[in-house]
Amino acid sequence: MSKAILIVAAHADDEALGCGGTIAKHVAAGDKVHVVFVADGVTSRGGAGQEDLVHRQRATENARNILGISTMAFLDLPDNRLDSLPLLDIIQPLEALIGKLAPEIIYTHHCGDLNVDHRLVHQAVMTACRPLPNSTVREILAFEVMSSTEWSSTGLAPFLPNLFVDISAHMETKMRALEAYALEMRAPPHSRSMEHMRSLAKHRGYCVGVDAAEAFMVMRVLR
């Protein structure tokens, strides 16, 4: 029986960076994957304009088609300024989407990321997914996003993965999705480079005896 999966990402490209292979694996298994992007991902950049937003949206649509994502939603909240908003302004639209989509599994950001938007999205997800009676959400998993998770301050919670998803059969799909976001990728030895993303998947896979994997922290599992 197919499952409804929801990815709650702060910015377009976080879904491909953090769990692109896992998305492709869910789709191959017949699951319906939905993604919500909380912030616009562009407007905090100096000189960014409408053309930059259009290009990011086009890249997002290309990645969606590559990964097989069923639906996408955009909250269009201010990029890298989520800390300027009441947390309730993030929680309420997420609650509405979760109620509509009834996901069984949610993937989102790690609570200790350097990027403030990532941290607040995590907090909003955990609040929107309070374990109330009759909730459809049975699993909440946190992913890692290069150039944020590994750059975090030592004063924040470290990313300590305790769940690994074998993406060996879906690695090239993930890489194609990352290629769709070419303008967001960087040249090596930057950690958000194509080369490092492949190396990271190899490293996470080798940690558990497979060719390639994505790593997650379990926030909640109900069985």
Domains, the chain, in order of start with CATH, read 4-221 (3.40.50.10320)
Q: Residue 211: which of 171, 175, 168 has the closest Cα?
A: 168
- Secondary structure in 3-state letters for 31-82: CEEEEEEEECCCCCCCCCCHHHHHHHHHHHHHHHHHHCCCEEEEEEECCCCH
Kindly tell me if the per-residue pLDDT of 43 is higher than 70.
no
Q: What is the mean pLDDT of residues 157-177?
A: 98
Helices 171-180 and 14-28, axial angle in degrees (round to 10): 140
Which pLDDT belongs to residue 40? 81
Kindly tell me if the per-residue pLDDT of 46 is higher than 60.
no
**pLDDT single digits (tens) 115-135:** 999 999 999 999 999 999 999
Which pLDDT belongs to residue 218? 98
Q: How far apart are CA 197 and CA 205, in angstroms?
A: 12
Question: Which tops the pLDDT comparison, 40 or 74?
Answer: 74
Q: What pTM value is reported for the model?
A: 0.96
Kindly tell me if the per-residue pLDDT of 184 is higher than 60.
yes
Q: What is the mean pLDDT of residues 16-23?
A: 98
**pLDDT single digits (tens) 85-115:** 999 999 999 999 999 999 999 999 999 999 9
